[in-house]
Structure 1
Amino acid sequence: MREKRDAENEGIPPLAKVLLLLESLVGAVDTIKINVESLTLKTDRLEENVQKILNHMDGQVLLVESLKKKVAGSRVEAHGVHAIWKEAPSVGVPRVSDFQHVVEGLEEKFRSYTEKAQESQRSIFQEQETEKIARQSRSWNLRLVGIVENEGEDTTEVVRAFLNDSLKVSSPQFEQDFLVGRLDRGNRLILIKFLSSEDKDVVLGKKSMLKGQKVWIDSDLTPRQVEERKVELQKVWSAREAGWVAFMKNDIAIVTSRKREAN
């Protein structure tokens, strides 16, 4: 075949042969260009795919880090859930009924605590009402201790005479008096129930006249009032020890800003 081509070319002038060769070379170059462009396009696509893969991998890394944080942040919640699981009467993974059992138990405890709180509130209210009634019923009473008694004497007349002679209170109006204790055990407590708070306040306001007579007269206080007075008296004593002028008024400690004079 080569011999045939050579035979065909024997009649072609040299310049024509060169031109023919150049055309052949140009065609080869064009083919190479096309192949290079195709390869370049494939390379670009490959780079894009590689970049997509890298981006996807970065997203996966971020997702993993996020999951790690969520797992770390959920440990406390997991402990709480584990505690609920322990209370649930089941083995393995708890069922909805197990959680329902725990919730019902908590609701029962809440109801029990609520009932106890309400009962305590009612009890406190009743105590307050009882204390209020007791204070009202005692508000016109006075307690008198230290009067000398003799067998067979009328206590009411003895009290009237004492109030008139020692406190200069004439014709005090009181409903009745009560003796507390036994005569053979010394001077007894006499509870005087006045008809008005005015007479009671007049007598109480003159109790300083009994100083040195070993006779004491005071308001008829409830046990709670006695404790409250002790607290107020402690405030007065503490203030006086610190050098301040302090005194009791209407069973309330009054601490002034004045210093006590040194004796």
Structure 2
Amino acid sequence: MRVIDIALKPSIAAERIRIKSGADTGAGNRRCGIQQGLASLLFIPGTWLVGMMGPVGVAARIQAMKENTGVGLGSGEIPHLSKLLSMLETLCGSVTEIKFSVLGLKSEVLALRSQVDKQSVDTKQQLQITTEEVKSEALHLKEELSSDFKAVTDLQQDLQRVGQCIDNQAADIRCMQKYAEEQTAEFSVQLKKLEQKVLAVRVAPSVPDLTPVLEHMDVKMQSYAEATRVAHTTLLQEQEKEKLAREARINNLRIVGLPEEDKENTKDVVLKFFQEELLVREPIVESAVRIGRGERGSRAILVRFGSAERRGRVVGNRRLLKGKGIWLDSDLTPMQAEKKRYELKKVKEAVSAGWIAYLRDGKAVITTWKREEDAIPK
């Protein structure tokens, strides 16, 4: 706040010149006293002058200075003193207003800073909560994707097995059709040869008429051809029925070895088994019933799922049942079950003979390696 000092310095300098040129020694002394008092007042630091004394305090000090020196404002000895005092009061008022404005701005800045800090803390907490939620959701999604991937893999394997079975059945149909065509062609050749022989016999004398015999054989050949056609049609129909039966059972699953209780709710038993043993959180089952007579223990349970994906979630965790005496099997058609028994019989015979053999995708796989002698039960 040095503006006051700068504004008043010219007047003080002029007054000093007048004092030096004055003839009256007493007046000069009085002027020197006024000069010293005014200088001591005007050269006080601006911040202390405004903050501690204010405009009223400054005026009071000037008045006291006049009384001590005995000089009046209207004497003409300091002609610029009134003007300087007015300027001083105006500047002091402006400085006071500026100070209050600065204090108001400072309080607003502090309030704004406090609000910004509070918003920053709230935003940081909210961002942390959102990050934790996103992380938890990502982990949950990862688990679901892993389970879905296992289910899709199992479903793909099941579809491959079904495709192999269909290809095998189609190959059997083609073989039977080829065999029927070969038999029909062979009978046609034999019939032509027989007709030629009959014609040759007719030419010879005293040979009985063989026309009825030929007609009878022709009827039998037609009957055989019709039977072959019917057998072929029936085989195609059976193959279609087998295909539909497999498609209807593709979402089914059999549970073997699960203990049976009197008056049990089979569906609740299955849901509890899936949750506790196979760790499937939300198994969705359409139906679950016991099947069979149960003469040798607990009956098997036939479970029907709404989709192959839901079935795959359960089948994907069947490794958890190892060593517990409980198995998960596919719901096979009678033809599939018969073929599986036949292949399993071949595996047992090979194992009994000492060969390494096993069942894979419903087919017996017999290797060319012998088992070690100590591994064969005595």
Identity of aligned residues (%): 40
Contact 2:267–2:289, Cα closer than 8 Å, also in 1: no
Does residue 171 in structure 1 map to residue 282 in structure 2? Answer: yes
Does residue 246 in structure 1 map to residue 357 in structure 2? Answer: yes
What is the Cα deviation at residue 192 of structure 1? 0.5
1:136-147 paired onto structure 2 within 5 Å: 136-147=247-258
Q: Unaligned 5+ residue runs, structure 1? A: 1-76, 86-91
Equivalent of residue 371 in structure 2, options 249, 260, 263:
260
Which residue of the partner structure matches residue 314 of structure 2?
A: 203
Q: What SS class does the counterpart of residue 172 from structure 1 fall into?
A: coil
1:199-238 paired onto structure 2 within 5 Å: 199-238=310-349
Rounded Cα–Cα distance in structure 2 between residues aligned with 1:159 and 1:183: 18
TM-score (ref. length: structure 1)? 0.55
Query: Which structure: greater strand fraction?
Result: 1
Which residue of the partner structure matches residue 69 of structure 1?
A: none
Equivalent of residue 193 in structure 1, options 279, 304, 310:
304
Change (3 A) 1:163 1:244: same
What is the Cα deviation at residue 140 of structure 1? 1.8
Partner AA of 2:214 in structure 1: V
Deviations 1:181-231 (A, max 9, x none): 579996333210122334434434544543454433311111211111122
Change (3 A) 1:135 1:158: same
Q: Unaligned 5+ residue runs, structure 2? A: 1-193
**Structure with the greater alpha carbon radius of gyration:** 2
Contact 1:138–1:220, Cα closer than 8 Å, also in 2: yes
Contact 1:143–1:220, Cα closer than 8 Å, also in 2: yes
Rounded Cα–Cα distance in structure 2 between residues aligned with 1:255 and 1:131: 28
Which residue of the partner structure matches residue 218 of structure 2?
A: 107
Rounded Cα–Cα distance in structure 2 between residues aligned with 1:184 and 1:253: 29
Rounded Cα–Cα distance in structure 2 between residues aligned with 1:211 and 1:112: 57
Query: Which structure: greater helix fraction?
Result: 2
Q: What SS class does the counterpart of residue 356 from structure 2 fall into?
A: strand
Which residue of the partner structure matches residue 259 of structure 2?
A: 148
RMSD value over aligned CA atoms?
3.4
Deviations 1:35-68 (A, max 9, x none): xxxxxxxxxxxxxxxxxxxxxxxxxxxxxxxxxx
Equivalent of residue 93 in structure 1, options 206, 212, 229:
206
Count of equivalent residues: 177
What is the Cα deviation at residue 242 of structure 1? 4.0
